[in-house]
């Protein structure tokens, strides 16, 4: 049984990952901003919870203290992140870009730095849940892809810097995943969020990504899953997905990933 911290655990992929890891018998610490959602998750799964806004240094420090006071950590799942807006570069809002960089890159960096000494000492794992957007780009996605590309450079560089040490650095890159909040937070309305998945036959669900994360952590300790890209069968890349129109015809079209 491993002791694992999962960030962004109040909904979506993070919540599903907590549930999956608890089902496998692991000791899981769930963190996110929303205390009430975390408490409900704890009641349902038996996980430990520590509410924290990772963009605030004092709250991140509180989380780290709470985690380390409970004993050695075996794995960190950096899942917290998100997108804001879908503007062209010419119209992009600097505040949106700044927010995305803070939640996807700087928070991930600071938490990883804080917990890395213990993970190096005990031979732990660090999982980064990035996106296919960390390795592609598309119209209307420059701010998000820029942040995710930057985040992806953390694990890519850490593998070089920590080679020979017993620390596994894993990146999981989801494509189109239908969750309750990702597109809503990005686009600002339920109708626009639903349009992202309109006509798409079986997009991925949060549970699909949670299953992959749990699998990467379950490999023998000499096996590192450097990077795994996970898409629904109907998606070819970040901007090409098969959709069914009102007449049942399959049409490739653009989408947000």
The yes-or-no verdict on residue 182 having pLDDT over 80 is: no
What is the model's pTM? 0.92
Q: Which residue has the higher pLDDT, 121 or 190?
A: 121
Closest CA to 76 of 23, 127, 121, 16: 127
- For residue range 147-157, list pLDDT tens digits in order: 999 999 999 99
Query: For residues 18 and 8, what is the distance between their CA atoms, to the nearest angstrom?
Result: 10
The CATH number for 3-253, chosen from 3.40.50.720, 1.20.59.10, 3.55.30.10, 3.40.140.10, is 3.40.50.720
142 confidence band (pLDDT: 50, 70, 90): very high
Per DSSP, helices labelled H in the chain are 12-23, 35-45, 57-69, 94-101, 107-122, 142-161, 182-187, 190-197, 206-218
Q: How many whole angstroms from its chain centre is CA 105?
A: 11
Domain limits, the chain: 3-253
Q: Is 8:32 a contact under the CB 8 Å cutoff?
A: yes
Residue 45: CB partners within 8 Å, gap ≥ 6? 18, 19, 22, 28
Question: Which residue numbers are catalytic?
Answer: 144
């Amino acid at each position: 049984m491993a002791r694992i911290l999962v960030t962004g655990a109040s909904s979506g992929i993070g919540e599903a990952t907590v549930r999956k890891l608890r089902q496998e018998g692991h000791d899981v610490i769930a963190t996110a901003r929303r205390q009430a959602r975390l408490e409900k998750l704890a009641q349902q799964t038996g996980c430990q919870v520590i509410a924290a806004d990772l963009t605030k240094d004092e709250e991140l420090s509180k989380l780290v203290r709470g985690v380390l006071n409970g004993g050695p950590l075996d794995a960190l799942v950096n899942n917290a992140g998100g997108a804001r807006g879908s503007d062209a570069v010419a119209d992009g809002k600097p505040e949106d870009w700044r927010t995305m960089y803070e939640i996807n890159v700087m928070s991930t960096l600071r938490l990883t730095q804080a917990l890395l000494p213990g993970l190096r000492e005990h031979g732990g794992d660090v999982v980064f849940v990035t996106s296919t957007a960390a390795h592609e780009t598309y119209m209307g996605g420059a701010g998000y892809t820029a942040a995710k590309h930057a985040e992806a450079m953390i694990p890519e560089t850490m593998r070089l810097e920590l080679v020979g040490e017993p620390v596994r650095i894993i990146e999981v890159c989801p494509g189109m995943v239908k969750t309750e909040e990702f597109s809503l937070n990005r686009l600002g309305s339920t109708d626009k969020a639903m349009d992202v998945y309109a006509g798409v036959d079986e997009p991925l669900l949060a549970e699909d990504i949670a299953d992959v994360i749990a699998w990467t952590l379950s490999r023998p300790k000499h096996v590192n899953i450097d990077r795994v890209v996970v898409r629904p069968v109907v998606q070819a890349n970040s901007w090409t997905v098969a959709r069914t129109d009102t007449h049942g015809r399959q049409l490739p079209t653009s989408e947000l990933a």
